[in-house]
Structure 1
Amino acid sequence: MRKLLTLAALALVAGCATPNDTSSSLSLTATGFDALAGWEREDFSSLMPVFRQNCHRLAQLPPETPLGGAETLPYGREAGDWSAACAALETTTDTRTYLQTWFQPYTVDAKASYTGYFEPQIEASLTRGGPYQTPVYGRPKDLVRTKATNGQMVTGRWENGQFKPYYDRAQIDGGVLNGQGLEIAWLKSPVDLFFLQIQGSGRLILPDGSQIRMGYDGKNGQPYVPLGRVLVQDNELASSAVSMDSIKAWLETHPDRMMATMERNPNYVFFRRDDGSLAQGATGAFGVPLTAGRSVAIDRSMIPFATPLWVETKLPDAKGQPAPWQHLVFAQDIGTDIKGAGRADLFTGWGAFAQYVAGNLHEGGRMVILLPRPPADSSAP
């Protein structure tokens, strides 16, 4: 999973990334459900499948498994913290009552910032030939993660007994991985590959019309450099004009500079074939399929996986106008550039409208996190 994409902002981000276990401080204020704008209009019946999906995943984890979240959170940072709420789910007949009984809302004391990401649909072939000349690489066998002397996890490769950074985008584009049998599909354009890597997953449309999904399977560990920011710094695009469409258009109209510009982002994502149902989204970093309009990528150092979040923001409608959007979503993914309190990347699904919404979503608003109540809490049965 990623997992996650800031299309209308300067920073285009990868949809999924390796989880970050770093804890930090998050300022919260307890509030009531009656203070949530639009709460009474929510479609509560549609939430139950996502809740059950999360609880099934949590049940697979040892109780002490860290889910992430700031050290200042009162509860919900370990898988076992959710056991009572998940057990109660089995006998729930009224989702709204269940939520108000088993969860406590807390307003995040920071202005929220929302963006969107989606699953692109890209023409591809499983064999090289004709217009299909750009490889989609699987994870190389020599790509490893290990603990550095400072205790941080790092990505790289071993060479003659020394641990070195993994090859960057320019080296990989130059053919350093050729001959290893890593090619799992072929695309028509390096630009298609670049944006597939930004999203972290995508659907490939094969010549016979069938579709397969590419899922995230690691990255090279090189720093992520937002291409939108590069083009703004070079005075090629105005900051107000940065979007997926404007960046793609610039690349396609500057073929002589296309590769060199993309290679200024040394980060490179590898894929695997994901044979999960195409009726759902790709699997996010939490290990469950993403649900359009219900899954978000978050900063795991701030918010634990599985946490419900009440979102109050605006989404572009079919006419391109921002419209109020107030719904419950779930922390199921992470992204390279999804950092800080109140930051979330909404998974919008796949297809043209999902791409349009994700590409034009860059809004502020309010975020409220719903943490499970401890079993001893008198408000819980």
Structure 2
Amino acid sequence: MRAAGAALLALSLAACATPRYAPAPGPAGGPPPPFTPPGRPQPEPPPLRVIEVAQLPGWAADNHAEAFAAFRATCQAAKEPAMAQVCRAAKASPLLSAQEARRFFETRFRALETPGEGVLTAYFAPEYPARTQPDGTFSAPVRPKPADLVNGQPYAPRDEIEARPADDAIAWMRPEDLFFLQIQGSGVLTFEDGRRMKALYAANNGQPFVGVANPMRDRGLLERDNTSGEAIRRWLADHRGPEADEIMRLNPRYAFFRLAPDDGKQPVGSAGVPLPPGRAIAVDLSHHAHGELHWITAEAPVLRGAFPSYRRLVTALDTGGAIKGEVRADLYLGLGAEAGAEAGRVRHTLRMYRLMPRGAAP
């Protein structure tokens, strides 16, 4: 879903989207290394901190039975041999009680702290109305992948694509809804005859993702603590036309879609398995692997109306174009407007711990 390039969110708008400037080349996703004069010994990397799972901050308060059910349903995404062995044990087991599930994790894993702090954002699978023909409100075409687009190569930016005829449109949406669908990477469309179809990511134009929250804040269009996805979408709807178009075109990335019947299931992430709401994260795959199990603890929200903290066990099952860095995660929260309202307010300071099977080398 978000592997799509996507899966970017309202919050991605506000948070993920902020470009990070590095003054000089350095390790992927982080700052450049400190300068060491020639002839001097290189600084030692910080020691790895390994703790017992039971010592994780907030561990006792998690819903361990729910966490186990999600892990059991998706752990086949892990390819590392020690994780695959734990996965086989989970799948051979029935669903466990909260106490049994807690013991399962505590006896089979230890926790490796990921150094530093980062950012937690969130995303969701939207549900939007659509039309088979355009009108004054439903004026934005949902476009299929162009025949001349080659994945991995730069293609035309958003403004050039939007200027082209849309004879091959597969649906028509309100412009602000399409903008958010492209950020999320997939969703469900309901047509005027009642048909429900999944809009599935097909490709993107290879242009960088640029968030619109910061420019809107800097222009005085939104208050500093009110750049949630919900607030952005409301402003775009209220200013539909040239004003909203100008803001949306600040983001040159453009996503293309295909339609499929709605099966009522959760979307599939880049790991190839359905995303369990609240238990799946999108990560930077240059730092992490599909199927990794992580404990996240996220606090100090900056957006109005956000939950104060998120502490839970999650699995890396997706990725996204705006998810960059080692301590960076995008939490999948589910389908529909309620999930979208929550997701759009998530921008928290994040710490991450990777759960390693006992016996595996850190």
TM tier, smaller:
0.7 to 0.9
**1:374 and 1:273 mapped to 2: Cα distance?**
45
Residue 288 of structure 2 is aligned to residue 303 of structure 1: yes
**1:101 and 1:197 mapped to 2: Cα distance?**
42
**What displacement does 1:129 show?**
5.5
Residue 171 of structure 2 is aligned to residue 142 of structure 1: no
Residue 67 of structure 2 is aligned to residue 47 of structure 1: yes
**1:86 paired residue number:** 87
Structure 1, 197-206 or 249-258: larger mean CA deviation: 249-258
Structure 1, 347-356 or 86-95: larger mean CA deviation: 86-95
Residue 104 of structure 2 is aligned to residue 98 of structure 1: yes
**Superposition TM-score, scaled by structure 1 size:** 0.75
**What displacement does 1:127 show?**
4.4
SS of equivalent residue, structure 2 residue 242: coil
Structure 1, 197-206 or 323-332: larger mean CA deviation: 323-332
**What displacement does 1:169 show?**
0.7
Aligned pairs for 1:24-39 (under 5 A) are 28-39=48-59
Indicate if the aligned counterparts of 1:8 and 1:243 stay in contact, CA closer than 8 A: no
**2:156 paired residue number:** 167
Indicate if the aligned counterparts of 1:7 and 1:360 stay in contact, CA closer than 8 A: yes
Residues 210/49 of structure 1: CA separation in 2 closer, same or farther (3 Å cut): farther
**2:234 paired residue number:** 249
Residues 233/309 of structure 1: CA separation in 2 closer, same or farther (3 Å cut): same
Summarize deviations over 1:118-151 as a string: whole Å, max 9, x none: 1222111244457433211122222113xxxxxx
Count of residue pairs the alignment pairs up: 327
Amino acid at match of 2:11: L
Amino acid at match of 1:313: A
**2:292 and 2:193 mapped to 1: Cα distance?**
40
**1:270 paired residue number:** 256
Task: Give the percent of matched residue pairs that are identical in Structure 1 and Structure 2.
Answer: 33
Indicate if the aligned counterparts of 2:200 and 2:257 stay in contact, CA closer than 8 A: yes
Amino acid at match of 1:35: Q
**1:328 and 1:288 mapped to 2: Cα distance?**
17
Residues 362/369 of structure 1: CA separation in 2 closer, same or farther (3 Å cut): same
**What displacement does 1:197 show?**
0.6
Amino acid at match of 2:347: H
Amino acid at match of 1:47: A
**1:67 paired residue number:** none
**2:331 paired residue number:** 346
**2:314 and 2:138 mapped to 1: Cα distance?**
38
**1:229 and 1:352 mapped to 2: Cα distance?**
23
Residues 315/282 of structure 1: CA separation in 2 closer, same or farther (3 Å cut): farther
Residues 216/81 of structure 1: CA separation in 2 closer, same or farther (3 Å cut): farther
SS of equivalent residue, structure 1 residue 356: helix
Residues 31/6 of structure 1: CA separation in 2 closer, same or farther (3 Å cut): farther
Indicate if the aligned counterparts of 1:281 and 1:290 stay in contact, CA closer than 8 A: yes
**What displacement does 1:186 show?**
1.4
**2:250 and 2:145 mapped to 1: Cα distance?**
21
Picking from 7, 12, 36, the partner of 2:11 is: 7
**2:236 and 2:103 mapped to 1: Cα distance?**
51
**1:23 and 1:256 mapped to 2: Cα distance?**
38
Q: How much is the aligned-residue C-alpha RMSD, in angstroms?
A: 3.1
Amino acid at match of 1:292: P
**2:222 and 2:308 mapped to 1: Cα distance?**
27
**2:211 paired residue number:** 226
Indicate if the aligned counterparts of 2:16 and 2:121 stay in contact, CA closer than 8 A: no
Summarize deviations over 1:143-173 as a string: whole Å, max 9, x none: 113xxxxxxxx32xxxxxxxxx312111111
Indicate if the aligned counterparts of 2:282 and 2:330 stay in contact, CA closer than 8 A: yes
SS of equivalent residue, structure 1 residue 214: strand
SS of equivalent residue, structure 2 residue 66: helix
Give 5+ residue unaligned stretches, structure 2.
19-26, 31-44, 95-99
**What displacement does 1:196 show?**
0.9
Indicate if the aligned counterparts of 1:9 and 1:362 stay in contact, CA closer than 8 A: no
SS of equivalent residue, structure 2 residue 247: helix
**What displacement does 1:333 show?**
1.0
Amino acid at match of 2:104: Y
Amino acid at match of 1:101: T
Picking from 94, 100, 115, the partner of 2:121 is: 115
**1:127 and 1:281 mapped to 2: Cα distance?**
28
**2:103 and 2:59 mapped to 1: Cα distance?**
12
Summarize deviations over 1:4-48 as a string: whole Å, max 9, x none: 42528744659xxxxxxx977897421111211332333222234
Residue 310 of structure 2 is aligned to residue 325 of structure 1: yes
**1:338 and 1:206 mapped to 2: Cα distance?**
32
**What displacement does 1:228 show?**
1.4
Amino acid at match of 1:358: A
Residue 338 of structure 2 is aligned to residue 337 of structure 1: no
